[in-house]
Each structure stands twice: as C-alpha cells, then as structure tokens.
Amino acid sequence: MDRLTKAFVALSAAGIVIAVYHGYDEITAYSGPLSNGCSVFTGFNPFLSCTTVFAGGHDTFPPGPYGIPLYVYGLVWFPLMTALALYFGRRGPLNGEVMVPVLMVGNLFTVYLWYIELVVIQALCPVCVSMYILNYAMSGLAFKALASAS
C-alpha cells in the first residue's frame, strides 16, 4: 500500500472515530458522560455549539419526519471510504478516477450542511466541521492520486 493510500485510510479512520462520537452525542442528546467535548467551545463562543446545532431542528436528511438522522451518514460514509481505499490499496495506488467523483458527492452534501449550520441555525458544530474537513482532506489526496495517475 502506497503512502497516499495509507494517509487516506488514516483520515477516513479518524472520521470513523469522530462519527461514532458524534452519533453517541446525538443519541444521548448531548447529555452523556462523554458529551462534554463539543460543549467546551460554548463557554468561549456560543456560536460554536454542537448542542445548538442539534437543537436547531435540522438533524435529518431529507428534512422531515421520515428523514435519516445526519449522524448515520457519517457512520456509513467514513467506513465506506476506508473500505474503498483498502480495496484499491491492495490492488495498487489509490484510484483517483473512482474516489474523486465519490468524494465530490460527500463534498456537495457538506455544502448543504454548511448552509444549514451557518444560515439556518446560525451556529457551528465543531465536531461536524471536523468531519467536513476530513472529507476535504481525503478529496485532496484523491485529486493527488488522480493527477499522479495521468
């Protein structure tokens, strides 16, 4: 497995850990004993608040009573990215031709989530933003793999 693929796997594995933590927070409604990680920012800046974002009423996609909780997407997305990277890593370098379009779907979804947080709820969830940043970093690695394959 090349270094680029290893870096991608490391980022997606970090995403799994953060997605599990985020899922735990939402399932416990930010009242669990491990839920203080995100609320630590609230004391410094109330704009940075996972609790405010969670309570904003936009915690499913598609919106509405039949939507899937947003934390589920992270719990599926990051293991999927890890599995794809490991699959391609066993056969050679990271396959940018496949990974870039797949990751662009995730990036488009984060644009929607940024809009919900910044415009609709007017607060940012630092845990959520960390997952967006991981997705952008994985996209950068996929673009690098695509460029080096050309």
- State the pTM of this model: 0.91
Residue 123 main-chain phi, psi, to 5 deg: -155, 155
Chosen CATH of 3-149 out of 1.10.150.130, 1.10.287.3510, 1.10.10.60, 1.20.1440.130:
1.20.1440.130
3-state SS, residue 68: strand
Q: What is the pLDDT of residue 87?
A: 95
Q: Closest Cα to residue 11, out of 147, 144, 130?
A: 130
Beta carbons of 138 and 82 less than 8 angstroms apart? no
Residue-range domain boundaries for the chain: 3-149
Residue 86 has pLDDT above 70, yes or no: yes
Q: Closest Cα to residue 90, out of 8, 14, 5, 12?
A: 5
Q: Please name the amino acid found at residue 56.
A: G
Q: What is the pLDDT of residue 123?
A: 92
The token pair that represents 56 in the structure block: 């904003």
33-58, pLDDT tens digit by residue?
666 667 666 666 778 888 888 888 89
114-137, pLDDT tens digit by residue?
999 999 999 999 899 999 999 999
Q: What is the pLDDT of residue 33?
A: 67
Q: What is the pLDDT of residue 131?
A: 97
Burial class (CB in 10 A: 0-12, 13-18, 19+), 10: middle
